[in-house]
Amino acid sequence: MSTESTKLAFNDGWQYAPAPESTDHISIDEQYGLFIGGEFVAPESGRYFETVNPATEQTLSSVSLASAADVDLAVKAARKAYNGAWSKMAAADRGKYLFRIARILQERAREFATIESLDGGKPIRESRDIDIPLAAAHFFYYAGWADKLEYAFPGRRPVPLGVAGQVIPWNFPLLMAAWKIAPALACGNTVVLKPAETTPLTAMKLAEVIRDAELPPGVVNILTGAGETGAEIVNHPDVNKVAFTGSTEVGKIIQRSLAGTDKKYTLELGGKAANIIFADAAIDEAVEGIVNGIFFNQGHVCCAGSRLFVQESVAEEVVRKLKDRMETLIVGDPLDKNTDIGAINSASQLETIQSYLKVGQDEGAEMYQGSGSLPEQGYWCRPTLFTGVSQSNRIVQEEIFGPVLAIQTFRTLEEGLTKANNTPYGLSGGVWTDKGAKIFKMTQQIRAGVIWANTFNKFDPTSPFGGYKESGVGREGGLHGLGAYLKLET
């Protein structure tokens, strides 16, 4: 179907009836305290800030602003739990707590998915099918390791590090919390975790789950706040391990502040992934993979396939099919089960994305956007692609973190490889071809932590994840993720 014909069909009212997820099964408190020592307590400063639904701009709740004094209390609670109940407990019993958290998350999955979409703007289809099941899967997976650590590292004696300070971003709020907390606890550490300022609600709900699962007080402490709170956690002298996921800019600040300390750290940072389409690929599947890689979840994915390299002979076909597909993508209410692209997470992120759209046009690239309508209230961005870009363009080099794709062509495998590697980042990538030899060659030579072949954005708790170059330090997930929370003695 040509772009013109699809546009006509779309504009003529080719639409699904609304299918919104209801909100009558969830409860959100008007105000949340800090989760310290197993209970919700008021912040020392008495200060709170609001969290907003990005699809409506309405306030959902207010959460506490944790100060240095609160961070100190949380670290003390974590240390007490580490020296006390948690380290004295049999490893199998630690595992049982993790299993319990996983099961409660599964039981309350619908509630968590709805709150995730309300607070973060992501489509319910994604929070329901990806975020929440994967978060539970991480707890299940690491629960199984808790009493088998010596088998993970034969001949070594695995010893926990102590108190882990963990700071996470807003794009996968509950999943990132699970990703951090589950391996830390399985290895016998205790934690102080800070969610991002725009998406604190599922972390507060997770605190309720942890309380209901009757974890010993202080094993998990959750503090809300902004960057200053994160910095207080990272720099607290009694924190032994720092696990950070977020931007490369903040990752560099953290790495500098940790230099010279004996804190162990892992940094999961930004990305600018390349999707590389060879002429022999299954083109329709590749187009679906590109759409999934950059437009779903509004491009708010560290490993979003934001650069596309297409072999020259199929470039026209791929771009035409992409444009056709963009016309059928539904941007709108995150709670509607038909929605493909939800709300941009915050006003400031929308501003960043819009500034890049201008940069792209000023650099001389040709911009194309889907033509579907946008809701009047809230923060929205149409799926966007740029053609006519060059390697030095800022929209090719810098992480935009929005539904914006920059397209280039290549002739030979070597050219595709060189272009794909020409970035300061190295988090992920995708190769589309029907030749196994090309897959092996590309996956060996692309400098990125995760490469998908003939698929994109697939995650599993058993797989290690992490970046090359400015995309980070260390690995999380799988067996490798255990090593990040242990000292391995001989």
Binders of ligand NAD in range 177-236 (CB under 6 A):
194, 196-197, 226-227, 230-231, 234
Nearest-5° Cα angle at 229, 224 to 234: 120
Segment interacting with ligand NAD, rule: CB under 6 A, options 50-58, 169-177, 204-212, 402-410: 169-177
Report DSSP state, residue 423: S
Interface size with ligand NAD, residues (CB under 6 A): 29
- Nearest approach in angstroms of CB 73 to ligand NAD is 18
Q: Which residue has the tokens 């060659």?
A: 441
Alpha helices in 216-306 (DSSP H): 227-235, 248-258, 283-294
- Nearest approach in angstroms of CB 140 to ligand NAD is 20
Residue closer to ligand NAD by CB (options 250, 329) is: 250
334 binds ligand NAD (CB under 6 A): no
Residue 398 annotated in active site: no
Q: What distance in Å separates the CA atoms of residue 89 and residue 81, rounded to the nearest whole number? A: 11
- Nearest approach in angstroms of CB 461 to ligand NAD is 14
CA distances in angstroms from 90 to 49, 184, 188, 255, 472, listed in the order given: 40, 16, 10, 34, 34
Residue closer to ligand NAD by CB (options 188, 293) is: 293
- 10 Å CB burial of residue 485 (0-12, 13-18, 19+) is buried
Segment interacting with ligand NAD, rule: CB under 6 A, options 61-69, 107-115, 167-175, 440-448: 167-175
C-alpha closest to that of 306 among 392, 408, 382, 411? 408
- Nearest approach in angstroms of CB 475 to ligand NAD is 10
Residue closer to ligand NAD by CB (options 231, 404) is: 231
Residue closer to ligand NAD by CB (options 433, 457) is: 457
List Cβ neighbours of 143 (8 Å cut-off, separation of 6 or more).
95, 96, 98, 99, 102, 182, 186
167 binds ligand NAD (CB under 6 A): yes
Residue 268 annotated in active site: yes
Beta-strand relationship, 190-194 and 58-64: unpaired
Binders of ligand NAD in range 357-386 (CB under 6 A):
none
- Nearest approach in angstroms of CB 330 to ligand NAD is 24
Q: Please, are residues 242 and 258 in contact by the beta-carbon 8 Å criterion?
A: yes
Among 86, 142, 170, 356, binds ligand NAD (CB under 6 A): 170
Binders of ligand NAD in range 232-271 (CB under 6 A):
234, 245-247, 250, 253-254, 268-271
Binding mask 23-62 for ligand NAD (x = CB under 6 A): ----------------------------------------
116, 197, 232, 268: the catalytic one is 268
Q: Please, are residues 87 and 188 in contact by the beta-carbon 8 Å criterion?
A: yes
Q: Which residue has the tokens 């696990």?
A: 243
- 3-state per-residue secondary structure call for 31-59: EECEEECCEEECCCCCCEEEEEECCCCEE
Among 70, 131, 399, 470, binds ligand NAD (CB under 6 A): 399
- Nearest approach in angstroms of CB 233 to ligand NAD is 7
| Coil vs helix vs strand at 390 | coil
464 binds ligand NAD (CB under 6 A): no
Amino acid at 392: S
116, 197, 302, 399: the catalytic one is 302
- Nearest approach in angstroms of CB 178 to ligand NAD is 13
Q: 39 forms bridges with which residues in the sheet?
A: 36
Q: Please, are residues 269 and 470 in contact by the beta-carbon 8 Å criterion?
A: yes
| Coil vs helix vs strand at 245 | strand
Provide the binding-site residues for ligand NAD, judged by CB under 6 A. Answer: 167-171, 194, 196-197, 226-227, 230-231, 234, 245-247, 250, 253-254, 268-271, 302, 399, 401, 427, 467, 472
Catalytic residues: 268, 302
